[in-house]
Structure 1
Amino acid sequence: MSQTFTMDDLRRMLQERQHKMTPQRQVVLQIFLDHPGEHLSAEDVHGILRDNKSEIGLATVYRSLE
């Protein structure tokens, strides 16, 4: 059984760990929310960002996932 998260849930979890919800981090996390049940790699996320004409780099994706 998988757990469903909202952006507010993710924002709260980040705050609990003393991390900020940056605009870039929000875009990266939104991709996971938009693709429930899919196992996306950092490269997959970066590919989706590129397809959407985003200028978020692969290093930023990795930092956001960390």
Structure 2
Amino acid sequence: MVDFIQEELEKLKEDLKIKGYKLTPQRRAIIKMIIKNEGTHLTTEELYDLVKKECPEIGLATVYRTVQLLDDLGVIYKLDLDDGCSRYELVSKGENHQHHHLICSECGKVIEVKDDFLEPLENSIEKEYNFKIRNHSLKFYGICDECQKK
């Protein structure tokens, strides 16, 4: 895991440099925490609480600005899981748009769907409407396996 985090940080450092930004210690701490919690869909406040444990001098405003920058640069995705909070997750390697999510209406659990079942539909829409799709977001609401067993 440590090697993976270091590898990701080095890639991000180069990406930021190309786009005219530096990987400051605060940005490094925030990105490191996002990588460590991949798949957790953290809010900015949750991320702040986690980063503050390792970097006590960091401010909430810094975390907000960094999250906004990382979202603007395409390093992370902003998610709306209909719970009143903006959540974020790392953009996975080779992912050209957001992956899909299954949201349990009972317990709130979020399950990531890794396969892209919409690619043929996207191609058809692009061709039919001469519309270049850059991204899409799809959420399914239902009841997870654990809640069905209760």
- Paired residue for 1:28? 30
- Paired residue for 1:59? 61
Larger radius of gyration: 2
Quote how far apart the aligned CAs of 1:56 are.
Answer: 0.5
**Structure 1 alignment gaps of length 5 or more:** none
- Structure 1 ranges of 4+ moved more than 4 A: none
**Counterpart residue type for residue 24 of structure 1:** Q
**Structure 2 alignment gaps of length 5 or more:** 1-6, 70-150
Q: Is the 8 A contact 1:11 1:21 kept in 2?
A: yes
Question: What fraction of aligned residue pairs are identical, expressed as a percent?
Answer: 32
Q: How big is each residue's C-alpha offset from its partner over 1:7-63, in whole Å with a ceiling of 9 and x where there is no partner?
A: 111111111210011011100110011111121111111111234462211100011
TM-score (norm 2): 0.38
Q: Is the 8 A contact 1:7 1:30 kept in 2?
A: yes
Q: How many residues align?
A: 62
**Counterpart residue type for residue 46 of structure 1:** Y
- Paired residue for 1:17? 19
